[in-house]
Amino acid sequence: MVNIGNAGKDKVTNILVVGIGGQGVMTATEILAEAAISLGHDAKKTEVAGMAQRGGVVSSHLRFGPKVLSPQIAPGEADLIVGFEAAEALRWCHTLRPGGLVLMNTARLVPPVVSGGLYEYPDDPVAEIRARGIEVHAFDAMAIALELGDVRLGNSVMLGAIAGHLPFPAEVLRDAVLRRFQARKPHMVELNRRAFEAGRAADAQHAAAPAAHTLTETV
């Protein structure tokens, strides 16, 4: 797999993180931003819709590069969609640029837009996204987290999976994750290190496929 690290230093990377309130969507975006800033990137982010309300839908936009004017990702401009929840990943596919990647957790959590009757939960979100000609890396982050002993590790699992698709080494993001826990919950550092590496391993299964995926940044 080739990442976007050498695609051009004057480019802006657009990442959309979506899911359900309480899954750690905004925390994941914050850590991604911290990793980018640690390398001197300008980074801007914004949260949309459900915000932090537990159970509400959440979308978090992150743009970073030498100079970023707006945090908002326009439809058709996201390089990467990170779906903490499968139906939300599908619902936001219109924001992905041609050739972009969807990286998603397959654990099923029914969002309020479904339980409220505004949106019908798809039978197979992964298949529907692939039917649109979009490359998808999908795995059950919740199951991986539970195997490690704590469902809350799903956030670090997802960040580990993202790490191979960024314009900087995976270790930069790993270190940003571990700094967060070293400062706040030092007893959780090793568990989150393992969760991060488990996420990288889950994504590597897709990277081993014949058509390796490369993100290309946008101006």
Q: Using one digit for the tens of pLDDT, what is the confidence trace for 65-104?
A: 999 999 999 999 999 999 999 989 999 999 999 999 999 9
Confidence of residue 112 (pLDDT cuts 50, 70, 90): low
- Written out in words, the top-level CATH class of the domain with range 13-207 is alpha beta
Name the average pLDDT for the chain: 86
pLDDT (0 to 100) of residue 108: 83
Residue 37 host element (H or E): helix 25-38
Residue 34 and residue 66: Cα distance in Å, rounded? 15
Residue 146 and residue 217: Cα distance in Å, rounded? 34
Is residue 4 over pLDDT 70? no
AA letter at 212: A
Residues near 164 by Cβ (< 8 Å), separated by ≥ 6? 1, 3, 170, 200, 203, 204, 207
Residues near 23 by Cβ (< 8 Å), separated by ≥ 6? 58, 84, 85, 109, 154, 155
Is residue 156 over pLDDT 50? yes
Confidence of residue 116 (pLDDT cuts 50, 70, 90): low
Confidence of residue 216 (pLDDT cuts 50, 70, 90): very low
Is residue 117 over pLDDT 80? no
Report CA torsion sign: 71, 75, 78, 82.
positive
AA letter at 85: E
pLDDT (0 to 100) of residue 48: 73
Residue 17 and residue 104: Cα distance in Å, rounded? 10
Per DSSP, what are the bridge partners of residue 62? Answer: 15, 45
Residue 10, class by beta-carbon neighbours within 10 Å (0-12 exposed, 13-18 middle, 19+ buried)? exposed
Name the residue among 32, 16, 18, 21 with its Cα closest to residue 84.
18
Strands 42-49 and 57-65 come out as: antiparallel
Higher pLDDT, 110 or 9: 110
Higher pLDDT, 145 or 215: 145
pLDDT (0 to 100) of residue 215: 46
pLDDT (0 to 100) of residue 111: 65
pLDDT (0 to 100) of residue 205: 84
Confidence of residue 1 (pLDDT cuts 50, 70, 90): very low
User: What percent of the chain has a predicted confidence (pLDDT) above 90?
Assistant: 68
Name the residue among 34, 58, 7 with its Cα closest to residue 159.
34
pLDDT, tens only, 18-66: 998 888 899 999 999 999 999 999 999 998 755 445 567 889 999 999 9
